[in-house]
Amino acid sequence: MARVGHSARVGRSRRRWMNVFFSPIVALALVTRVHGAPSAMGLRKRPFKNTAARGRALGSTAREVYGEVLETGVLVASFELAGAQTFELIVDTGSSRTYLPCKGCASCGAHEAGRYYDYDASADFSRVECSACGGIGGSCKSGVCRYYVHYLEGSGSEGYLVRDVVSLGGSVGNATVVFGCEERELGSIKQQSADGLFGFGRQAYALRAQLASASVIDDLFSMCVEGYEKLSGEHVGGLLTLGNFDFGADAPALVYTPMVSSPMYYQVTTTSWTLGNSVVEGSRGVLTIIDSGTSYTYVPGNMHERFLQLAEDAARESGLEKVAPPEDYPDLCFGNSGGLGWSTVSEYFPALKIDYQGSARLTLSPETYLYWHQKNASAFCVGILEHDDNRILLGQITMRNTFTEFDVARSRVGMASANCEILREKYVEHASESPRLPPPPPPLSPSQSPLPPPSPPGSSDDKDSGVFVYLAMPVVGIIGVMGGSALMKKRDSNQWRRLEEDIGEHLDGEIELVDVP
């Protein structure tokens, strides 16, 4: 899920991983094929080389991420494969499939890496067998284990599932994982700058789940998203950890709330929001999806109306005036003649307190609900938006300078206010590095890359072991944009649920499903 931010501010030039927008459509019926329960079948653990001694604690690593709400709308991390071939993938806690374009893709776009993955450089590369396909959310077609990820607005990713060694750094080192090799990109996925998707969702084939099932890491990961974008163009992004990373004395003092059962999403229960001294009406007892792939935060209509009123009251009491929003968006923006800036915003706007089930309370600064006006350096706009769902979709903006631990093994989420920039600078730059994989071959353009060998026709594995489920329901502006790949203009208040066929045996009425060819 991702809702992109706005165009780059004047005087600042940074990479844009996503730059295509779409208009929402209404789908009245969806069809899906349901496969067997997902598992870690086919995953191999690769012996580490000089990274972690046998018999010691499970591995962990701290990775750098790039991106911010306004300019890229997503967070991106490097994914290094054989030959030091590095790809920039969108980190999305709302999607589970990891995929990127591979050599031979005749219908993939030109992305950040400027090349497709050349698997011939890897002695460890192999395609997933059809015998293991159903256990990792795939579909066997003509003897090839395939995956399909389609989205309502028409974009999608299709390809085959493979195993290969990825370099993850730290004491995790090099590990063998299953991911998707794209043969076809559709719509905005083909046009985006990001190379692919780094799936951190709850399903069993998500990368962190594979590593945990192979006893490479504990089944938890964490994110720490840095605060306001800075006009100087310096690094903005944050920190991603895999496993139980040791921050020593710098470890944030986490408060925990239980996860609510869901096959795809990290859901918790919000007991209330308080802006300043006023409880936001409509915020009590609301299910909340935490999704790093969504740029802004979306709340139910009645909650949104009350939040805007409280924000406006606070702004006026501080002497701020309404200003026109950027690019004709209908957002609520406030400013003054020059005293308001990212370093002084807390003097004008109140803190946001979020209470979660289990007596977990976070006190957050205004940067978790305001974004900086691109055309007026002394103005800010409210980044809490409305959608037609009865849940909160907690996006990247409200994760700013909040250390968030997804402890899947214990089915809980830990949170604490933190200075994410300091944590990144201290622990990413000094994290031990894994051994490098072999040097890369010369880069190949998509037109030069040979197509993969054709699949053998008439395979007995063409049979469908799944069943078809028909959902006759209008899908009208509910949750999320598609896995960080299909984007919406900021002025669109309706977001659309992600469509993935990768749901295992669980049929959750909250999740709409994909049409599988």
Active site amino acids: 92, 291
Task: Compute the distance between CA of residue 261 and CA of residue 317 in angstroms, rounded to an integer.
Answer: 42
Task: Compute the distance between CA of residue 25 and CA of residue 18 in angstroms, rounded to an integer.
Answer: 20
Cβ–Cβ under 8 Å, residues 194 and 112? yes
Task: Compute the distance between CA of residue 260 and CA of residue 464 in angstroms, rounded to an integer.
Answer: 32
For residue 37, give the 3-state DSSP assignment: coil
For residue 103, give the 3-state DSSP assignment: coil
Phi, psi of 328 (to 5 degrees): 65, 20
Closest CA to 117 of 96, 136, 100, 95: 100
- Taking residue 344's Cβ as centre, other Cβ atoms within 10 Å add up to 10
Q: Is 213 exposed, middle or buried (0-12, 13-18, 19+ CB in 10 A)?
A: middle
- CA distances 165 to 22, 61, 99, 436, Å, are 35, 16, 14, 11
Closest CA to 94 of 387, 396, 515, 468: 396
CA 283: distance to chain centroid? 24
Task: Compute the distance between CA of residue 330 and CA of residue 389 in angstroms, rounded to an integer.
Answer: 20
Which helix (DSSP H) or strand (DSSP E) does residue 384 occupy? Answer: strand 384-386
Amino acid at 364: L
CA 478: distance to chain centroid? 18
